[in-house]
């Protein structure tokens, strides 16, 4: 059947709506460093192998670390942990960091099975704060999925872009929470899993300075999160 222009319903006349609520959340965004450039020069089977790992790992991590929401985005993914009556932001941040380094460790091991024919690793950005949880209601059913908007989403994305392979960066808010609750967030009493906070080096600060969408305090007050055991036992000394 051929539709004539007179048969179209103007979009402004279509019934649609959106509901939402403000929630406190921890946002993690991970992306493979150099994937786009690497994919231009790599066989299709290698590209699909890496993309499959990303999708599989996003599902596993969201389940194993109790994320409330996840979304795959080709060579990366997003996870969100909401503050609830039984889980505080510090607990969500601890789960997010656990997921980040489980991702790094899993990909490091998987890349060996790829015989090195894959990007070096993921950059991860983590941000905490108030986000708007949106539930759209449109006439296109496939679009009616929960989504999140707000500064922490943008901040995590910017920090992810700054992070190098196997690197985790967190905003100033998350840094304060980690320092206040080191046992919960940094697993300070577990020698093998314990994490440490480090200031960004001058080159990283220089790259962060012109970024749009970051608050001034997050351009210079963000932190690098280190996993000393992993850096020593798995991939060698980390970039300090």
- As given in the structure block, the two tokens for residue 86 are 């039984």
CATH of domain 17-233: 3.30.70.1230
Q: What is the pTM of this model?
A: 0.89
**For all residues of the chain together, what is the average pLDDT?**
88
Ranges of each domain in the chain: 17-233
- Average the pLDDT over each of 2-6, 25-29, 220-224 and give the range with the smallest value: 2-6
**pLDDT digits over 181-198, tens only?**
999 999 877 778 899 999
- Burial class (CB within 10 angstroms; exposed 0-12, middle 13-18, buried 19+) of 208: buried
- Burial class (CB within 10 angstroms; exposed 0-12, middle 13-18, buried 19+) of 26: buried
Of 2 and 227, more confident: 227
Straight-line distance from the first to the last Cα atom of the chain, in angstroms, rounded to the nearest whole number? 64
pLDDT at 62 over 90: yes
The model's confidence at residue 113, banded by pLDDT at 50, 70 and 90, is: confident
Nearest residue to 123 via CA among 95, 162, 74: 162
User: Hey, which of 13-22, 109-118, 142-151, 200-209 has the most confident mean pLDDT?
Assistant: 200-209
**Dihedrals phi, psi of 138, to nearest 5 degrees:** -120, 175
Of 75 and 7, more confident: 75
pLDDT score recorded for residue 3: 46
**pLDDT digits over 132-142, tens only?**
998 877 777 77
Buried b (16+ CB within 10 A) or exposed e, 121-158: bbbbbbbbbebebeeeeeeeeeeeeebbebbbbbbbbb
Nearest residue to 128 via CA among 87, 161, 80, 164: 80
Measuring CA to CA, how many Å separate 162 from each of 59, 87, 89, 155, 209? 24, 29, 24, 11, 11
């Amino acid at each position: 059947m051929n539709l004539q222009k007179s048969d179209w319903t103007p979009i402004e006349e279509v019934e649609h709506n959106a509901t939402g609520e403000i929630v406190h959340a921890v946002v993690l965004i991970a992306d493979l460093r150099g994937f786009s450039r690497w994919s231009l020069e790599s066989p299709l089977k290698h590209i699909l192998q890496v993309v499959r790992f990303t999708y599989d790992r996003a599902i596993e991590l969201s389940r194993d670390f109790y994320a409330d929401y996840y979304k795959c985005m080709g060579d990366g993914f997003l996870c969100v942990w909401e503050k609830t009556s039984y889980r505080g932001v510090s607990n969500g941040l601890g789960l997010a960091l656990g997921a980040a380094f489980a991702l790094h460790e899993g990909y490091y091991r998987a890349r060996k099975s790829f015989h090195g024919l894959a990007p070096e690793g993921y950059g991860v950005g983590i941000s905490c704060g108030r986000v708007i949880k949106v539930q759209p209601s449109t006439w296109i059913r496939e679009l009616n999925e929960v989504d999140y908007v707000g500064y922490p989403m943008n901040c995590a994305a910017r920090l992810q872009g700054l992070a190098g392979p196997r690197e985790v960066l967190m905003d100033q808010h998350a840094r304060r929470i980690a320092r206040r609750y080191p046992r919960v967030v940094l697993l300070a009493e577990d020698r093998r899993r314990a994490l440490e906070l480090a200031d960004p080096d001058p080159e990283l600060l220089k790259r962060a300075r012109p970024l749009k969408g970051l608050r001034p305090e997050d351009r210079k007050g963000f932190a690098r999160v280190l996993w000393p055991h992993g850096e020593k036992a798995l991939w060698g000394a980390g970039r300090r």
